[in-house]
């Protein structure tokens, strides 16, 4: 039985009218939920974790791990009800978080622990309650301890609660500081990212890490350097470089796991990598260890060259992929600019496929940015104006990142690579025209140098491009 308790039936006489008034006083706020019923559920929760019930012998441990069906149905109803603000405030007023804290501290039942964290997560969606829960240091400690749990549903609800609190400006710093004071949380999160196959859990944990790094660069730096501690599952002879930056391999493993099932999850993990590249230690965490750098490059290279925004995709697909593409190109660009002397960064191997992908993105962007023709449905356009503005903003970010990366690749193209590109089609007139149109005028020196190489390879081809871009004629 999944539904909530039914409201009182309609009155039929004076006695019923009186009963209805009494019943009305039993309602929580403006809801039809019963205070008396809810008190009963909370009382039974207290009994479950009372000393006489928790001091049982080891023979009863298996029973403690289970939750009887009736009790599960009732607490699940409370979980559903807690999404209502009146119910959440009522639970807060009558110290329900303290009861849930007792359950989390003492109960060994995974299902009950999951539900209690889930209820607290729902309650935290309301600002006043979130501030109250966050200010309770003991409750905060118990909730963070849930990150060490081995039960995926409990971990999922804990991560959801943390993300909710981290998204509240008034209390975000409190949780960041608490997490910083518990270094073991780093190990737990790394373990989840590197070993879990639960996509929902990986996505939510990724969102927590992404939010933490976005909120606090100092914490991000600490987590980058935390890999220097010897992990229990790695042999002692492992070199310092190989074990110094464990966060990156864990992020990569999680990204691979969610890749085919959840685009939003992949977007989250790509943004984590992008945040890492905003500081030098983060870039070094990616490229310093050859294996980590190669794994990162190969995954991201495969995404942009073989999965996203392909030639047989409709141009509008860019709207769906614009944020993840911006993160991927940003990380690839940062790795390429790091000048790490690695085989996987050789321009002869990666230059043309990347040019092909970058120009295709720019071509599709031109299609997405075309303004709709005037029509009688101007009101509909007004309604969607803010959405279009937001889309334009993200497309501009993608364009800026793509142009910068493309210019960096153009700068190191050799005569042989250009010749090969002309032959294979990655540097056709249409593609070069698109590249020039987007690179000019900000990257004029790069375009001019590239055009000089084109003159050496194919004067007719270079001349045709000059006809399309007269401003380049004088410089060549």
Q: Could you read off the pLDDT of 314-364 as tens digits, one per residue? A: 999 999 999 999 999 999 999 998 876 777 777 777 889 999 999 999 999
User: Buried (b) or exposed (e) across 160-183, using 16+ Cβ within 10 A?
Assistant: bbbbbbbebeebbebbbebbbeee
- According to the model, what pLDDT value does residue 24 have? 54
CA distances from 255 to 123, 267, 271, 295 (A): 30, 9, 11, 12
Going by pLDDT thresholds of 50, 70 and 90, the confidence category of residue 241 is very low
pLDDT at residue 169 is higher than 80 = yes
Distance of CA 130 to the CA centre of its chain: 22
Given a contact cutoff of 8 angstroms between Cβ atoms, the answer to whether 252 and 300 are in contact is no
The rounded distance, in Å, linking the Cα atoms of 341 and 323 is: 29
- According to the model, what pLDDT value does residue 344 have? 73
Q: Could you read off the pLDDT of 378-407 as tens digits, one per residue? A: 445 454 545 556 668 999 999 999 999 999
- According to the model, what pLDDT value does residue 185 have? 94
What is the average pLDDT value for the chain, to the nearest integer? 85
- According to the model, what pLDDT value does residue 32 have? 79
The rounded distance, in Å, linking the Cα atoms of 403 and 406 is: 5
pLDDT at residue 152 is higher than 80 = yes
46-63: average pLDDT: 64
pLDDT at residue 240 is higher than 80 = no
Burial class (CB in 10 A: 0-12, 13-18, 19+), 58: exposed
Going by pLDDT thresholds of 50, 70 and 90, the confidence category of residue 142 is very high
Angle (CA) 287-293-296 rounded to 5° is: 130
Closest by CA position to 297, among listed 274, 322, 331, 271? 331
- According to the model, what pLDDT value does residue 345 have? 74
| 74 or 476, which is more confident | 74
Half-sphere exposure of 147 (CA within 13 A, CB side): 28
Min mean pLDDT across 43-52, 86-95, 310-319, 405-414 is at 43-52
Q: Could you read off the pLDDT of 2-14 as tens digits, one per residue? A: 444 444 444 444 4
pLDDT at residue 262 is higher than 80 = yes
SS3 220: helix
């Amino acid at each position: 039985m999944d539904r909530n308790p039914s409201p009182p039936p309609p009155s039929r006489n004076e006695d019923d009218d009186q009963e209805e008034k009494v019943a009305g006083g039993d309602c929580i706020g403006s809801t039809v939920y019963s205070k008396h019923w809810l008190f009963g559920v909370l009382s039974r929760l207290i009994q479950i974790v009372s000393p006489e019930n928790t001091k049982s012998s080891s023979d009863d441990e298996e029973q403690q791990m289970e939750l009887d069906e009736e009790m599960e149905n009732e607490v699940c109803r409370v979980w559903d009800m807690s999404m209502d603000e009146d119910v959440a405030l009522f639970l807060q007023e009558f110290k329900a978080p303290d009861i849930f804290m007792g359950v989390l501290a003492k109960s060994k039942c995974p299902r009950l622990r999951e539900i209690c964290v889930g209820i607290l997560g729902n309650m935290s969606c309301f600002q006043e309650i979130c501030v109250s829960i966050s200010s309770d240091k003991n409750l905060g400690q118990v909730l963070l301890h849930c990150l060490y749990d081995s039960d995926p549903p409990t971990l999922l609800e804990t991560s959801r609660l943390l993300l909710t609190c981290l998204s509240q400006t008034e209390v975000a710093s409190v949780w960041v500081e608490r997490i910083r004071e518990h270094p073991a949380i780093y190990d737990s999160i790394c373990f989840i990212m590197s070993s879990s196959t639960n996509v929902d859990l990986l996505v939510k944990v990724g969102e927590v890490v992404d939010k933490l790094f976005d909120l606090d660069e100092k914490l991000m730096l600490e987590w980058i350097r935390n890999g220097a501690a010897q992990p229990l599952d790695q042999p002692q002879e492992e070199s310092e470089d190989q074990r110094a930056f464990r966060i990156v391999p864990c992020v990569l493993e999680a990204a691979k796991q969610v890749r085919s099932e959840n685009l939003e999850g992949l977007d989250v993990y790509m943004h984590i990598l992008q945040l890492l590249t905003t500081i030098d230690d983060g870039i070094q965490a990616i490229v310093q260890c050859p294996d980590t750098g190669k794994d990162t490059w190969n995954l991201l290279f495969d995404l942009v060259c073989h999965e996203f925004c392909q030639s047989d995709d409709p141009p509008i697909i860019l709207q769906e992929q614009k944020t993840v593409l911006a993160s991927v190109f940003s990380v690839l660009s940062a790795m390429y600019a790091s000048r790490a002397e690695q085989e996987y960064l050789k321009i002869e191997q990666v230059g043309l496929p990347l040019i092909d992908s970058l120009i295709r993105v720019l071509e599709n962007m031109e299609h997405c940015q075309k303004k709709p023709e005037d029509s009688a449905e101007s009101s509909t356009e007004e309604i969607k104006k803010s959405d279009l503005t937001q889309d334009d903003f993200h497309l501009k970010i993608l364009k800026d990142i793509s142009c910068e990366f493309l210019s960096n690749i153009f700068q190191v193209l050799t005569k042989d690579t250009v010749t090969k590109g002309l032959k294979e089609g990655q540097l056709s007139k249409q593609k070069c025209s698109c590249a020039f149109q987007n690179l000019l005028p900000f990257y004029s020196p790069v375009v001019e140098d590239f055009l000089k190489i084109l003159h050496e390879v194919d004067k007719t081809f270079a001349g045709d491009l000059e006809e399309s871009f007269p401003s380049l004629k004088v410089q060549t």
